[in-house]
Amino acid sequence: MVDPVATTAMMDPAGLKAIGAGLAVGLTGLASGIAEKDIGAAAVGAMAENESLFGKGLILTVIPETIVIFGLVVALLIS
């Protein structure tokens, strides 16, 4: 038999919110990292040949950053 008092103590809403917020930022951070990996590499490659591509490369590299921003917004909304 599971003790209902103990279960309530373990499932502290504030704690769960914190875990949720952490997951939202952490996982989206990883996701942006993975997405930016190839774009960043490609941008550096293109820039090595043609320096004027710096601006375009930078913008394209940070586009997946939106993923982690959404994660951050969700985290802020939760907590």
Partner 1 sequence: MRLLQKLKRKSSPTHRGSGSNYAYATARVRAMKSNLLPRETYPRLMNMGIDEITRFIEESQYKQDVDELARVYDGVDLFEHALNRNLGVTFTKIINISEGELNYLISEYLKKYDIWSIKTILRGKYCNASVEEINDSLVAAGQLSYTFLSSLAEKESYESVIDALSGTDYYPTLKGYDGTNLSAIENQLDKEYYNGMFYAIGTPGSNDRKLFSKFIRTEIDIKNLSTLFRLKKAGVGEDEIADLILEGGLHLSMKEIEKLLPLPFSEFINSLEKYPYWEDISDIVSPEMDSLVDLETQLTRHSIKSAASFSHMYPLSIVPIMDYVLNKKNEVNNLRIILRGKAANLDEEIIRNQLVI
Residues lying near partner 1 in the complex (CB under 8 A) are found at 37-39, 41-50, 53
The single residue listed with the structure tokens 């103990």 is 6
Q: Calculate the dihedral angle through the C-alpha atoms of 66, 72, 73, 79, rounding to the nearest 10 degrees.
A: 170
Q: Report the residue number, 41 or 58, with the smaller CB distance to partner 1.
A: 41
Closest to 72 measured CA to CA, from 24, 18, 33? 24
Q: Report the residue number, 21 or 43, with the smaller CB distance to partner 1.
A: 43
The amino acid at 38: D
Say which DSSP state 12 is in. -
Q: Report the residue number, 3 or 49, with the smaller CB distance to partner 1.
A: 49
